[in-house]
């Protein structure tokens, strides 16, 4: 064995002994500006990331839906909350245009004073006010495996807690891809649809966990496949991650993403 | 006495019995976010959110009395040299409010508030979070690794769990150390080290919602303290990964805030809180469970519950039994070839009444043999509530099922059974589940022995039990308890 081979063997052995894939230390960063998490779409299409997570999404500014606790997010509650029509074309095949605005009348709780500490807890729902707001759609690319809805909200709107987020994207396939599953994690509860059919529901007080819930086996059809998602949260940092995996659990990456 | 009064008394009695349950700490073990248990001058201490904490003289009966200034949330403690470093967070923790947190540490020479040496140093800040960044600097957890490096983790569901290295001499942030993100969507994080792995523990689920709290403790591991901490399916805790360590039990809900306590090699305990214990008014209580290590992953073990058991040696698998005559059971030798149309009958096991008359009235020695489900091999293990306990468990009596005949330690580090359980210390047994799931059975007293805690039920030969020193690497010192 040559010296080079020996060296390579020792190095390989050390890597195997370590037993985990290498990853640089993730140094903490206290900045919270939007472009740390999401940037506006500037290219015609995008690919999934190296692990197959879908990063291109059309995101609607949060719809106020006050909740003092996430424990209310039962299956029935979120089905009812997401069944309401908030905008024309909801769950439809045609996605809203980037920059389009939606007029919605919502229940409203004044923003929490962040300097004031934890609000006094009460099981009694406060008397919420109502207001009519105009919310905008934004076509965004995530710089992370997940879509940090909380920072989308804190950078663009006043509402951060007690909200519903709507998200949509188009998965484009060159051929049918059968027997794939939609894998979702979300904070907090969420529902997801593929081509108008319900695919995944995540109920309860959820933390975002990659591959937390998967759909039954699905077929991504040749051409456009429209995904809709809705995430609801009370207090907490809303986000989600979505990818497709094949029968072997490998990420599906031979797809492209658009928001049209 | 009215029927209503009788009903109330019954309920009070039932509740009192539950309070003595072997599955939970007794006394007044009410606490939230308990710090890792520390031993100081023969007593055990844990601190909680809001200030103060619990003290126990034996590790089983807990009362309030520990003193920690500073208030705030979710402390932790570690002994370094001859001093205790206590960390806590003064602020933050507001999921709907402010997230500007400060992690503080302070020293004390003793945890005994009655000691003349009891005095905390001024707290110093080792980490903080800004009002709205992706971190909420509360919930500190300490780890000192085998190289003498001191680390702490902190954070909540609000963003990332972070880790930073501290100076073990000062308890301050190590000069030049940077915060590192190691997980998301956790609370009550801490690290531990074992066999070349750094383990990151975190609590998932819903906090502070009583019996509906879904708090549960998960773990990932890494070869370095800096991560990545991956779970058993390779998922990074920065992506929400984590393998379950302990979740709810039938009567207790919301396991959170892990702490590790190594009693001896092979004997480890985890402390945490239940958000709600149904047997204790649904209050938040201290919990202590054995740590099991399975394929390199920690899991919660069991506190032995009252019941009927066979006690099997790990040496050979023989059952602990009385040294009495083997009595042939009914059914006997009936040949191998029955008639095909023969009516099937069920034959009962040999019963105690059939054999007990032949047993000596006084002491009967014990031995081990292959298990044949005979009365002299069947044991009842029950907690003795009035006897107190030890770290994470009550003292037990071990008697032959259906009798008061009790396993007893005798002079010369030997064993016998006495015809009746008297409550004497030599009839009380400490039963610890070991990290491999087997059990160590230790007498509270051995006549003539000053250190009974060093001895355990031991297989000196396949058929011969005795009392000898415990060594986790020695199967002779281990037993399986199979509930029947």
In chain A, the number of structural domains is 1
The single residue listed with the structure tokens 């909680």 is B48
> Is B209 within the bounds of a domain?
yes
> Is A180 within the bounds of a domain?
yes
- B276 and B318 both lie in a single domain: no
Which of A30, A119, A205 is facing B133, going by the closest CB pair? Answer: A30
Q: Which domain holds residue B379?
A: 307-326+350-483
Which pLDDT tens digit goes with each residue over A202-212? 999 999 999 99
Contacts with B236 from chain A: Cβ below 8 Å: 23
> Is A2 within the bounds of a domain?
no
The single residue listed with the structure tokens 């059971």 is B329
> Is A146 within the bounds of a domain?
yes
Report d(CA A127, CA B26) in Å as an integer: 43
Contacts with B94 from chain A: Cβ below 8 Å: 117-118
Q: Which of B284, B300, B316 is the last residue of a domain?
A: B300
Q: Which domain holds residue A244?
A: 29-258
> Is A85 within the bounds of a domain?
yes
Report d(CA B373, CA B316) in Å as an integer: 17
- B370 and B466 both lie in a single domain: yes
Looking at residue B255, its pLDDT comes to 97
Note whether B439 and B453 are within 8 A (CB).
no
Which residues on neighbouring strands pair with residue B160, listed in sequence order?
B184
- B111 and B56 both lie in a single domain: yes
- B367 and B476 both lie in a single domain: yes
Q: What does the pLDDT profile of chain B (484 residues) look like in tens digits?
A: 444 444 443 344 444 433 445 777 888 999 999 999 999 999 999 999 998 999 999 999 999 999 999 988 899 999 999 999 999 998 755 544 578 899 999 999 999 999 999 999 999 999 999 888 999 999 999 999 999 999 999 999 999 999 999 999 999 999 999 999 999 999 999 999 999 999 999 999 988 889 999 999 999 999 999 999 999 999 999 999 999 999 999 999 999 999 999 999 999 999 999 999 999 999 999 999 999 999 999 999 999 999 999 999 999 999 999 999 999 998 766 777 777 788 888 889 999 999 999 999 999 999 999 999 999 999 999 999 999 999 999 999 999 999 999 999 999 999 999 999 999 999 999 999 999 999 999 999 999 999 999 999 999 999 999 999 999 999 999 999 999 9
Secondary structure (3-state) at A208? coil
Contact residues, chain A to chain B, C-beta under 8 Å: 18-21, 23, 25-32, 68-71, 112-119, 145-146, 154, 161, 185, 187, 204-205, 207-212, 235-237, 241
Angstrom CA distances, B448 to B406, B409, B413, stand at 19, 11, 9
Helix (H) or strand (E) holding A156: helix A149-156
Nearest CA in chain B to A53: B239
Q: Which of B237, B266, B300 is the last residue of a domain?
A: B300
- B166 and B249 both lie in a single domain: yes
Contacts with B205 from chain A: Cβ below 8 Å: 205, 207
> Is A201 within the bounds of a domain?
yes
> Is B72 within the bounds of a domain?
yes
Report d(CA B286, CA B32) in Å as an integer: 8
SS (H, E, C) chain B: CCHHHHHHHHHHHHHHHHHCCCCCCEECCECCCCCCCEEECCEEEEECCCCCEEEECCCCEEEEEECCCCCCEEEEEEEECCEEEEEEECCCCCCCCCCCCEEEEEEECCCCCCCCCCCCCCCEEEEECCCCCCCCCCCCEEEECCCCCEEEEECCCCCEEEEEEECCCCCCECCCCCCEEEEECCEEEEEEEECCEEEEEEEECCCCCHHHCCCEEEEEEECCCCCCCECCCCCEHHHCCCEEEECCCCCEEEEEEEEEEEEECCEEEEEEEEEEEHHHCCEEEEEEEEEEEECCEEEECCCCCCEEEEEEECCCCCEEEECCCCCCCCCCCCCCCCCCCCCCCCCCCCCHHHHHHHCCCCCECEEEECCCCCHHHCEEEEECHHHCEECCEECEEEEECCCCCEEEEECCCEEEEECCCCCCHHHCEEEEECCCCCEEEEECCCCCCCCHHHEEEEEEECCEEEEEECCCCCHHHCEEEEEC
Pairing of strands A56-60, A163-173: antiparallel
Give the end-to-end CA distance of chain A in Å, rounded to a whole number.
57
> Is B378 within the bounds of a domain?
yes
> Is B335 within the bounds of a domain?
no
CB contact under 8 A, B185 and A119: no
In chain B, the number of structural domains is 2
CB contact under 8 A, B132 and A154: yes
CB contact under 8 A, B214 and A205: yes
Q: What is the mean pLDDT of chain A?
A: 88
- B276 and B424 both lie in a single domain: no
Angstrom CA distances, A21 to A8, A68, A249, B222, stand at 17, 40, 18, 10
User: In sequence order, which residues have a C-beta less than 8 Å from that of residue B37 and are 6 or more positions away?
Assistant: B44, B45, B46, B59, B259, B261, B269, B271, B288, B391
- B149 and B196 both lie in a single domain: yes
Size of interface A-B (CB pairs under 8 A): 111
Helix (H) or strand (E) holding A17: helix A3-18
Looking at residue B332, its pLDDT comes to 67
Nearest CA in chain A to B128: A30
- B314 and B254 both lie in a single domain: no
- B376 and B265 both lie in a single domain: no
> Is B5 within the bounds of a domain?
no
> Is A20 within the bounds of a domain?
no
The single residue listed with the structure tokens 């042939």 is B328
CATH of the domain at B363: 2.80.10.50
Q: Give the residue from B416, B463, B476, B483 showing the smallest Cα distance to B443.
A: B416
CB contact under 8 A, A209 and B240: yes
Length in residues, chain B: 484
The dihedral built from the CA positions of residue B392, B295, B183 and B86, taken in this order, carries a sign that is positive
CB contact under 8 A, B227 and A26: yes
Nearest CA in chain A to B155: A28
Q: Which of B240, B266, B300 is the last residue of a domain?
A: B300
Looking at residue B23, its pLDDT comes to 75
> Is B343 within the bounds of a domain?
no
Secondary structure (3-state) at A247? coil
- B248 and B357 both lie in a single domain: no
- B282 and B322 both lie in a single domain: no
Q: Distance from A171 to chain B by nearest Cα, in Å?
A: 23
> Is B42 within the bounds of a domain?
yes
CB contact under 8 A, A207 and B240: yes
Which pLDDT tens digit goes with each residue over A68-118? 788 899 999 999 999 999 999 999 999 999 999 999 999 886 655 544 444
User: In sequence order, which residues have a C-beta less than 8 Å from that of residue B373 and are 6 or more positions away?
Assistant: B349, B350
> Is B340 within the bounds of a domain?
no
CB contact under 8 A, B95 and A235: yes
Which of A115, A146, A236 is facing B95, going by the closest CB pair? Answer: A236
Which pLDDT tens digit goes with each residue over A220-232? 999 999 999 999 9
Note whether B20 and B385 are within 8 A (CB).
yes
B262: which 2 tokens?
């190594």
Q: Distance from A52 to chain B by nearest Cα, in Å?
A: 14
Which of B96, B133, B185 is facing A207, going by the closest CB pair? Answer: B185
């Amino acid at each position: 064995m040559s010296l080079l081979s020996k060296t390579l063997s020792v190095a390989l052995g050390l890597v195997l002994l370590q037993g985990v894939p290498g990853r640089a230390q993730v140094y903490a960063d206290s900045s919270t500006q939007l472009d740390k998490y999401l940037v506006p779409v500037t290219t015609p299409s995008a690919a999934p990331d190296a692990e197959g997570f879908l990063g291109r999404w059309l995101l609607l500014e949060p719809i106020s839906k006050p909740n003092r606790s996430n424990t209310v997010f039962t299956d029935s509650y979120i089905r009812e909350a997401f069944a309401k029509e908030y905008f024309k074309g909801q769950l439809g095949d045609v996605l809203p245009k980037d920059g389009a605005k939606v007029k919605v009348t919502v229940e409203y709780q004044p923003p929490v004073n962040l300097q004031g500490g934890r609000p006094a807890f009460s099981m009694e729902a406060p008397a919420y006010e109502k207001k009519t707001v105009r919310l905008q759609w934004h076509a965004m690319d995530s710089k992370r495996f997940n879509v940090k809805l909380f920072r989308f909200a804190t950078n663009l709107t006043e509402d951060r807690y007690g909200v519903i987020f709507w998200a949509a994207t188009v998965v484009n396939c060159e051929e049918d891809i059968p027997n794939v599953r939609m894998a979702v994690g979300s904070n907090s509860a969420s529902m997801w649809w593929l081509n108008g059919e319900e695919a995944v529901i995540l109920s309860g007080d959820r933390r975002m966990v990659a591959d937390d819930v998967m759909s039954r086996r699905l077929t991504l059809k040749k051409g456009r496949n429209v995904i809709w998602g809705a995430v609801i949260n009370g207090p907490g940092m809303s986000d989600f991650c979505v990818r497709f995996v094949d029968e072997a659990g490998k990420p599906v990456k031979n797809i492209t993403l658009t928001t049209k | 006495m009215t029927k209503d009064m009788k009903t109330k008394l019954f309920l009070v009695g039932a509740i009192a019995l539950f309070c003595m349950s072997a599955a939970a700490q007794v006394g007044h073990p009410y606490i939230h976010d308990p710090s890792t248990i520390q031993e100081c001058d023969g007593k055990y201490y844990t601190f909680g959110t809001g200030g103060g904490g619990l003290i126990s003289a034996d590790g089983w009966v807990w009362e309030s009395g520990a003193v920690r200034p500073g208030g705030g949330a979710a402390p932790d403690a570690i002994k370094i040299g001859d001093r205790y470093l206590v960390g806590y967070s003064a602020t933050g923790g507001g999921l709907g409010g402010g997230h500007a947190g400060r992690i503080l540490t302070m020293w004390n020479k003793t945890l005994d508030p009655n000691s003349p040496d009891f005095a905390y140093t001024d707290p110093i800040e080792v980490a903080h979070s800004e009002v709205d960044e992706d971190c909420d600097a509360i919930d500190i957890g300490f780890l000192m690794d085998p190289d003498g490096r001191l680390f702490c983790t902190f954070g909540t569901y609000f963003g990332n769990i972070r880790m930073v290295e501290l100076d073990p001499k000062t308890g301050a942030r190590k000069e030049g150390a940077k915060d590192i993100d190691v997980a998301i969507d956790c609370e009550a994080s801490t690290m531990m080290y074992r066999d070349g792995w750094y383990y990151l523990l975190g609590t998932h689920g819903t906090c502070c919602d009583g019996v509906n709290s879904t708090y549960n403790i998960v773990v990932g591991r890494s070869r370095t303290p800096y991560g990545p901490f991956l779970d058993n399916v390779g998922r990074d805790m920065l992506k929400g990964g984590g393998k379950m360590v302990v979740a709810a039990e039938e009567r207790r809900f919301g396991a959170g805030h892990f702490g590790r306590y190594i009693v001896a090699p092979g004997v480890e305990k985890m402390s945490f809180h239940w958000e709600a214990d149904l047997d204790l008014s649904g209050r938040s209580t201290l919990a202590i469970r054995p740590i099991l290590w399975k394929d390199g992953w920690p899991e919660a073990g069991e506190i032995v519950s009252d019941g009927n058991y066979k006690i099997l040696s790990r040496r050979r698998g023989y059952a602990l039994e009385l040294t009495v005559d083997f009595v042939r059971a009914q059914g006997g030798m009936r040949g191998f070839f029955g008639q095909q149309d023969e009516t099937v009958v069920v034959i009962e096991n040999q019963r105690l009444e059939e054999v007990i008359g032949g047993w000596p009235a006084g002491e009967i020695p014990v031995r081990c043999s292959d298990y044949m489900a005979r009365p002299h091999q069947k044991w009842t293990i029950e907690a003795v509530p009035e006897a107190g306990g030890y770290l994470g468990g009550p003292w037990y009596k071990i008697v032959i099922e259906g009798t008061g005949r009790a396993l007893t330690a005798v002079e010369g580090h030997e064993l016998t059974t006495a015809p009746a359980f008297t409550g004497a210390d030599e009839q009380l047994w400490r039963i610890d589940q070991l990290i491999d799931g087997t059990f160590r059975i230790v007498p509270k007293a051995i006549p003539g022995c000053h250190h009974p805690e060093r001895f355990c039920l031991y297989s000196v030969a396949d058929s011969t039990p005795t009392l000898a020193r415990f060594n986790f690497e020695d199967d002779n010192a281990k037993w399986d308890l199979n509930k029947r």
